[in-house]
Amino acid sequence: MAEFENNVAFIGLGAMGYAMAKNIRQKMSPTGNLYIFDVFRTACERFYHEMQVTGPVIIVGSPREAAEFADTVISIVPGADDVRQVYLDAVTGIIAARRNPERVLLECSTIDSKSTQAVGEALLVGKLGTYVDTPVSGGVPGAESGTLSFLIGHGKPSDTNSVSHRLHKVASMMGDPKKFFYCGGLGAGLAAKISNNYLSCSILLAVAEAMAIGTRLGVDEKLLHEVIHHSTGQNFMADNVQPVPGVVTHAPSSNNYRLGFKTQMMIKDLGLGVQAGYATGITPTIAEAALRVYEKAAVDPRCIDRDGSSVYLHITNPTRKSPE
């Protein structure tokens, strides 16, 4: 195994990161070191106790320390402010680590392209390594099974470009190479991700509303889903993130709206879509309308910290505020 796969740092052990880091620990050399950091210390301790049997796991005190030891850094945290804190904080950030132009940093969070470009350029100027936006798709199930899609802000792998080769190898420990998309330069992976999430978040709300309407008109909910599945309304969200409980057994709704993708995160991702729409001269009519609904759902106790498909509970009874 190459040296860069033996010294890896993972930052952000949340719903996605925990499962992604598990795959890294299982697939890297059993003697290689995995350095972990999360502001929520309990997540690091849980990971340490669960995974140290697989190989060395070292909890570090800051992203700077994590990068200090590692040739490869992977991060996945909620938003752009968190990414800036991880990378650019003058004391605890990766920018304060030892210079190492050979270091490769895969940043998997969903944030805006401009922020990622600013972070990547600052690291390059400081000779901290090559930072690439590598947002992921496939949700927690994809993270757990190691079958995530990667949308990569870099050119395709080639024999003459060692960074792309390394990106491909590291991403392969967490994802399915058939679903790796090399989108171009820094920020291009996020541009693709934001476009995709514009659709997936909007479609989820459309599914919730359509299911609510059809069932109120008297159609059985399972039958309605079957009809949609075999008709022109068929879509991934209805089949896998179906908001009506009991219709699709593997959907979060059938498991008490287990995460998933938090309702509050829907606001972030639709907000990114709206922002990108105006920045490119496209009026984001659908995302704006959906954003207004999710903003209300995100303060509804039935939806907070639950999967975003819980928006169904909000739209079917918008005034009721007690937890389900």
Q: What distances in angstroms separate CA 171 from CA 104, 141, 163, 286, one per listed residue?
A: 12, 16, 12, 33
**Closer CB to ligand NAD, 51 or 136, in the complex:** 136
Burial code (b: 16+ CB inside 10 Å, e: under 16) for 118-140 equals: bbbebbeeeebbbbbbbbbbbbb
Contact status: 192 vs ligand NAD (CB under 6 A): no
Q: Nearest 5°: CA angle at 170, between 151 and 29?
A: 160
CA–CA dist 69, 299 (Å, integer): 41
Contact status: 140 vs ligand NAD (CB under 6 A): yes
Contact status: 85 vs ligand NAD (CB under 6 A): yes
Shortest distance in whole angstroms from residue 52 CB to ligand NAD: 19
CA–CA dist 78, 180 (Å, integer): 22
Positive or negative, the CA dihedral 309, 312, 315, 320 is: negative
The stretch near ligand NAD (CB under 6 A) out of 112-120, 134-142, 230-238, 247-255 is 134-142
For ligand NAD, which residue of 8, 66, 70, 77 counts as binding (CB under 6 A)?
77
Contact status: 276 vs ligand NAD (CB under 6 A): no
Q: Which of 27, 114, 169, 193 is catalytic?
A: 193
Contact status: 104 vs ligand NAD (CB under 6 A): no
Contact status: 110 vs ligand NAD (CB under 6 A): yes
Contact status: 175 vs ligand NAD (CB under 6 A): no
Q: Please enumerate in sequence order all residues whose Cβ is within 8 A of that of 54, keeping only pairs 6 or more positions apart, or say none.
A: 25, 26, 30
Shortest distance in whole angstroms from residue 17 CB to ligand NAD: 5
Contact status: 39 vs ligand NAD (CB under 6 A): yes
For ligand NAD, which residue of 93, 129, 139, 189 counts as binding (CB under 6 A)?
139
Contact status: 157 vs ligand NAD (CB under 6 A): no
**Beta strand pairing call for 57-59 and 33-37:** parallel
**Closer CB to ligand NAD, 14 or 214, in the complex:** 14
**Beta strand pairing call for 130-133 and 104-107:** parallel
**Closer CB to ligand NAD, 79 or 215, in the complex:** 79
Residue 10: closest CA among 51, 2, 269, 112: 51
Q: Is 296 a catalytic residue?
A: no
Q: Two tokens at 23?
A: 């795959």
The stretch near ligand NAD (CB under 6 A) out of 27-35, 72-80, 121-129, 309-317 is 72-80
For ligand NAD, which residue of 180, 198, 261, 294 counts as binding (CB under 6 A)?
261
Contact status: 43 vs ligand NAD (CB under 6 A): yes
Q: Nearest 5°: CA angle at 35, between 161 and 179?
A: 45
SS3 content of the chain, % helix, strand, coil (to 5): 50, 15, 35
Binding mask 205-224 for ligand NAD (x = CB under 6 A): --------------------
Contact status: 252 vs ligand NAD (CB under 6 A): no
Q: Two tokens at 125?
A: 């100027």
- Annotated catalytic sites, by residue? 193
List of residues contacting ligand NAD (CB under 6 A) = 11-17, 37-40, 43, 76-78, 82, 85-86, 109-110, 136-137, 139-140, 261, 265
